[in-house]
Amino acid sequence: MHRIIVLDDIAQEGLDLLDAADGVEYEIRKKLPVDELRTALTQFDGAILRSGAKLTAEVLAGNKRLKAIVRAGVGTDNIDKAAATRQGIVVMNTPAGNTVSTAEHAFALMLALSRNIAPANQSLIEGRWDRKKYMGTQLAGKTLGIVGMGRIGREVASRAMAFDMTVIAYDPFLSDDQAAKLGLQRAATIEDLLPQIDYLTVHTPLTDETRGLIGKDCLAKLKPGVRVINAARGGIYDVDALVEGLNSGQIGGVALDVYEQEPCTDSPLFGMPGVVCTPHLGASTEEAQTQVAVEGVHLLLNFLQTGEIKHAVNVAALDPKTLEEMRGFMDVAHRLGLLLSQWHGGGVDTVKLTFRGEITGKNTKLLTNAFCVGLLERALGEEINIINAEMMLRDRGIELCEESHHEMSAFASSISADVAGGGRTVTAGGTLLGHNMPRLVVLDGHRLESYLDGNLLVFSHQDVPGIIGRVGTIFGEHNVNIAQMAVGRSGGEPGGSAIGVLNLDGLPAQAALDAVSAVSEITMACVVQLPPVGQLPSWLQ
């Protein structure tokens, strides 16, 4: 049974889907204090929320059950994504469901500012007929500056053009070609845009870069009387600068839907002339809320029931078809990680992964993540999965580098990994035979073909006659059956170094290992434990 917690109001259509889903139960728990929220979250597999609940690092700390968080909406700034990633929790959003509603709200705010809708309404209901006082400006013929030309920015732009406005936009990802296709002008920098516009609207996420993006310096570059709108995130405009600009007349009007701290019932801007504010209503339409709730619930159910990852903001997407295609090689990568963590022995500083052949045409990030899980899971146990593995590795100061070479080696596709640290570098290469037969094909420069399956004895030795026989005898004496055996020599010539890999039916006793290690030609021997072939970790099933 998958348990889902609903942390904010979501549309009934979304709840109906939860009611109808097999093997799912849900609880609606809103506005929980931090301690209760932390405890509650430990009892659920998935969570769905809007912008009300705050999933901080503190709230997620120590949670071993939660696997997915879905934001029914766009902005995920109320979720600590680094903390979620570290705990292996996938965070997904519904990027497009409220785009049009939010663009329309930004536009409504722009119109409200231009025609003094809010103060004129207030004055009328207070008994005055102030037609002269509320003289407005028309939008046609004016220039709108848009910072952030993603989904919402583009919808605002097309509406502005329909109102006969000129649009100038700044977005680091907007090219001249795209701007031309959209019928607008591209500004190379925000500073270039500011002196040319009559209205300014921002449609960026709140990031370290956009926090305080429009502050005193920027506002000073505006034409006097410019009207500014924010239906993106509080914090993008500097509120003190807005107050100062309104007082000096540099700014003609301010419309806000969003605030640095929400809920926000107190702001120096509230009540100032020329200010109109709404309580984060951009996405509050029936249409948007139905879309984000339905899409969000589908995302959560699909993830919990099939492992599909779509619209994730902290990991690569993983749909069932890709998982099916990649499962075999992800299994190889995971087994190589497990093997090298045991063969290296610990104290890893760097990891280099090389992908060759056909597999490079696929999403090799999945292979990287699967390898990292294998490398770390003996140390970190069930806490690690393909969502958090790379971050966990980097958090431990381990450098990771990945290379892809389209040309094939001896195999249609192969993965090789170099793991270095503490003065020792170990290398393993693997491939997949058929759909589900993972093979080790190189170990520390020695070519071989060994099953990546179950308990292995790996031993490096001098390539002289009699070694295999002696190891076989020792294991015979200790009643350990050898199921398969592979030996590889460096350079292919006899007499150099060699590596043996034995697949054992059981784990050898320490006395057997000591006896093997005591053979003078054996330089190193180690038992490597891998899952039996066909036994997949939960994230690969």
Ligand X SMILES: O=C(O)CC[C@@H](O)C(=O)O
Ligand Y SMILES: NC(=O)c1ccc[n+]([C@@H]2O[C@H](COP(=O)([O-])OP(=O)(O)OC[C@H]3O[C@@H](n4cnc5c(N)ncnc54)[C@H](O)[C@@H]3O)[C@@H](O)[C@H]2O)c1
Applying CB under 6 A, the span of 150-158, 192-200, 405-413, 417-425 interacting with ligand Y comes to: 150-158
Q: Which residue's entry shows tokens 């034995």?
A: 502
Distance CA 387, CA 96 (A): 23
Is residue 297 a contact partner of residue 24, using CB atoms and an 8 Å limit?
no
Catalytic residue (one of 2, 50, 203, 280)? 280
Buried b / exposed e over 431-450, threshold 16 CB at 10 Å, is bbeeeebbbbbbbbebbbeb
Q: Which 463-492 residues touch ligand Y, going by CB under 6 A?
A: none
Angle at 190 between CA 187 and CA 194, to 5 degrees: 90
Q: What three-state secondary structure class fits 311? A: coil
Residue 119 contacts which entry, ligand Y, ligand X, none (Cβ below 5-8 A, type-dependent): none
Catalytic-labelled residue, pool 13, 58, 260, 262? 262
Contact status: 170 vs ligand Y (CB under 6 A): yes
**Residue 318 CB, nearest approach to ligand Y (Å):** 21
Rule CB under 6 A: say whether 343 interacts with ligand Y.
Answer: no
Beta strand pairing status for 166-170 and 185-186?
Answer: parallel
| Range in contact with ligand X (rule: CB under 6 A) among 276-284, 323-331, 421-429, 493-501 | 276-284
- Which residue in the set 5, 55, 68, 283 belongs to the binding site for ligand X (CB under 6 A)? 283
46-49 and 68-71 beta bridge pairing: parallel
Is residue 74 at the binding interface for ligand X, with CB under 6 A as the rule? yes
By a kind-dependent CB cut-off of 5 to 8 A, residue 257 interacts, out of ligand X, ligand Y, none, with: ligand Y
- By CB atoms closer than 10 A (0-12, 13-18, 19+), residue 484 is middle
- Cβ–Cβ under 8 Å, residues 151 and 99: yes
Of 63, 87, 102, 455, the residue at the interface with ligand Y (CB under 6 A) is 102
> Which residue in the set 148, 234, 296, 429 belongs to the binding site for ligand Y (CB under 6 A)?
148
| Residue 171: contacted member of ligand X, ligand Y, none (CB under 5 to 8 Å, by partner type) | ligand Y
Measured in degrees and rounded to the nearest 5, phi and psi for residue 273 equal -60, 140
Residue 233 found at the interface with ligand Y (CB under 6 A): yes
The least CB distance from residue 77 to ligand X, in Å, is: 8
482-489 and 497-504: which strand pairing?
antiparallel
Q: Specify whether 262 is catalytic.
A: yes
**How many CA atoms are closer than 13 Å to the CA of 347, on its beta-carbon side?**
6
50 binds ligand X per the rule CB under 6 A: yes
Partner from ligand X, ligand Y, none binding residue 50, C-beta < 5-8 Å depending on class: ligand X
Task: Work out what residue 147 binds among ligand X, ligand Y, none; the CB cut-off runs from 5 to 8 Å by kind.
Answer: ligand Y
Rank residues 46 and 73 by Cβ distance to ligand X and give the closer one: 73
CA–CA distance, 262 with 365 (Å, rounded to integer):
37
Q: Could you tell me the strand order of the sheet in which 199-202 lies?
A: 185-186, 166-170, 143-147, 199-202, 226-230, 251-256, 275-277
Catalytic residue among 159, 227, 233, 334: 233
The single residue among 51, 101, 114, 364 that binds ligand X, judged by CB under 6 A, is 51
Instruction: Give the one residue of 7, 59, 66, 74 binding ligand Y; rule: CB under 6 A.
Output: 74
* Main-chain dihedrals φ then ψ at residue 383, nearest 5 degrees: -70, -15
E strands of 212-332, at which residues? 226-230, 251-256, 275-277
Binding residue for ligand Y (CB under 6 A) from 6, 152, 323, 502?
A: 152
Residue 153 as a binder of ligand X (CB under 6 A): the answer is no
Q: Residue 161, SS3?
A: helix
* Active-site residue, 233 included: yes
Q: Minimum CB separation from ligand X for residue 277, in Å?
A: 15
- Active site amino acids: 233, 262, 280
Site residues for ligand Y per CB under 6 A: 73-75, 95, 98-99, 102, 147-153, 170-173, 203-205, 209-210, 231-233, 257-258, 280, 282-283
By the criterion CB under 6 A, which residues form the site for ligand X?
A: 50-51, 73-75, 98, 280, 282-284
